[in-house]
Structure 1
């Protein structure tokens, strides 16, 4: 009877015996951990998920002391190398002989809340950096215009060609600095939104990268043909995806340790998906995945800031501009990276009715 009740719980429950072998897990635990209970009964907890040595010691201590404990935001790894963030509670169960006979582990997934929190942080950081850059651009462009104008006036007064060359350097460098500031600000025009096929955008990017990579990088397509048209600016989306994919290509071409260099371009439709704090009925997910060296952990949190780059010759503007473009489309770019797997996920809401489009506007 009790097993039947636990089977209907939405909370993932695992029962361990005193030797920390799995005696039972309910369907919610099977779904969360992507395991079959019939195959892991009698096996160690590691057959379901792994954490660290401290967690095993904590379970052994719970058996000896009989004291329950709770762990918050634990990162566990399932058998398919999938990582989960969850809270879990361990409760010792005393038997008739006054000894601990079993442990009940209750798992509460936190991935969605953690992802929402991370997205809110990305959005907040993007808005902060955008306001900072706007203020900085204003302070730079005003005196820059004066410097350029003064150089032009001085050049008209000189008859010596050598001196004119110097003023021309001032004018050209002023123009270069102005262009850099404009690039920092990202797209200056509002998106020219219209219905578009996202696969047409990706194919254009694939063609451009294929030519530049010169057969040194394999581009693998994995598209979901069920994705409907979305509302967006085709040229801006091409630029955003090109910036991300070009970064992946350059990282691969500079990597001497990866033999078969590959970029996967994947699309999927996500239903009832939350971006930030807003839930959307349908979202287009575009994944750019490469098997290069990965992104240094030191810059992961500031990856989308202007002027942040992991490459010596990089400007650090490509990802910042891409995030600005996707943000204008009410979406977001996320990144997960470790050696031989860097994945950029571009999430863009798909509006399926005129009413939705009005709300987006």
Structure 2
């Protein structure tokens, strides 16, 4: 076996590739794992170095056959399907391509393709386009409604002064109250796109603990709020107040989905932070990114809402406004990131992804 060299300069260039890649010896042991593979597995390259790749697969048979086939020719290329087992997740379906690295060193290169990898970029682009369309719509809506709404309210106040008796005052008060309600709704629609506060260096775990305390005070019984933090995450540059609001909206959205479980006493939300490597956000590749997950054991997002969950006024609750996640997404995009959703019954994960300097 080739001596394990996790920092070989010949392989470090693979860290700049967004595709998960491993360098193997002829027996299938991992010599090097790039950043994308570390992120996918939740394991560091030092932990992976020297480990038989078969231990990371649900079925080692396809890999064994590929190793045998690729060993016959230096320029051979073998493709196969596999299920990759990470540290903290269910098996991930991948398409693998194994090829010889060349006759100079008896090593093999394994490239893994996630079937839905291209879909993530398309989904991110769609979310950004939706955000731009929403901003333009709200600006036009506010302009068209604010002026006549103010006129209606003012006219109702003048009419109230001219009424001969109090018996019709209830109607003018109703007009004024409804005008105020619509004005407040407009303000909430505009809120995500107003200029934020003064950005600075913020500690994401301090924000998590602050928001966790607020939510736990709102739900002292029936809800377990668990932490799973990566303490090595550095500070990031951002607007603390805005990030607190974004995370608070995400947690409150989870609590609303968990209403029945909170009543039953078995609701759970996990706050998890991780560092992702070589992440593309808004057509820019970032060497490091923060991934803040809010994971709940609720019923999941209905299928009919999954593609529209971040649009304003879209909600699955009769008394909901559908603005909480819209605001969280707008704040994330203002910081160069985004909020993603992955949901199935019993496991819903909203992920706030932000670039790290």
- Common topology (TM > 0.5): yes
Give the match for residue 135 of structure 2. 130
SS of residue paired to 1:302: coil
Task: Give yes or no for the alignment of 1:300 onto 2:306.
Answer: yes
Give the match for residue 199 of structure 1. 205
Task: Please report how far the alpha carbon of residue 233 of structure 1 lies from its aligned counterpart in structure 2 after TM superposition.
Answer: 1.7
SS of residue paired to 2:336: coil
Give the match for residue 17 of structure 1. none
The 8 Å contact of residues 282 and 336 in structure 2, kept in 1 or not, is answered as: no
Q: 1:152 to 1:197 in 2, by over 3 A?
A: same
Decide which moves more: 148-157 or 125-134: 125-134
Task: Please report how far the alpha carbon of residue 27 of structure 1 lies from its aligned counterpart in structure 2 after TM superposition.
Answer: 6.0
Task: Please report how far the alpha carbon of residue 300 of structure 1 lies from its aligned counterpart in structure 2 after TM superposition.
Answer: 0.4
The correspondence of residues 124-163 of structure 1 with structure 2, limited to 5 A, is: 124-163=129-168
SS of residue paired to 2:226: strand
2-structure distance, mates of 1:49, 1:299: 40
Task: Please report how far the alpha carbon of residue 159 of structure 1 lies from its aligned counterpart in structure 2 after TM superposition.
Answer: 3.7
Unaligned ranges ≥5, structure 2: 1-10, 15-19, 42-50, 63-78, 98-109
Deviations 1:244-264 (A, max 9, x none): 101111211224897631100
Task: Give yes or no for the alignment of 1:217 onto 2:229.
Answer: no
Give the match for residue 176 of structure 2. 171
Give the TM-score, by structure 1 length. Answer: 0.70
Task: Give yes or no for the alignment of 1:322 onto 2:331.
Answer: no
Task: Please report how far the alpha carbon of residue 88 of structure 1 lies from its aligned counterpart in structure 2 after TM superposition.
Answer: 7.3
Q: 1:149 to 1:332 in 2, by over 3 A?
A: same
Q: 1:336 to 1:49 in 2, by over 3 A?
A: farther
The 8 Å contact of residues 224 and 267 in structure 2, kept in 1 or not, is answered as: yes
Alignment size in residue pairs: 300
Decide which moves more: 250-259 or 234-243: 250-259
2-structure distance, mates of 1:329, 1:106: 32
Give the match for residue 273 of structure 2. 267
The 8 Å contact of residues 227 and 268 in structure 1, kept in 2 or not, is answered as: yes
1-structure distance, mates of 2:55, 2:230: 33
Unaligned ranges ≥5, structure 1: 1-7, 13-23, 51-69, 90-104, 352-361
Q: 1:109 to 1:250 in 2, by over 3 A?
A: closer
Deviations 1:167-199 (A, max 9, x none): 111111101111111111223233321222111
Task: Please report how far the alpha carbon of residue 84 of structure 1 lies from its aligned counterpart in structure 2 after TM superposition.
Answer: 4.6
Q: 1:134 to 1:158 in 2, by over 3 A?
A: same
The 8 Å contact of residues 186 and 324 in structure 1, kept in 2 or not, is answered as: no
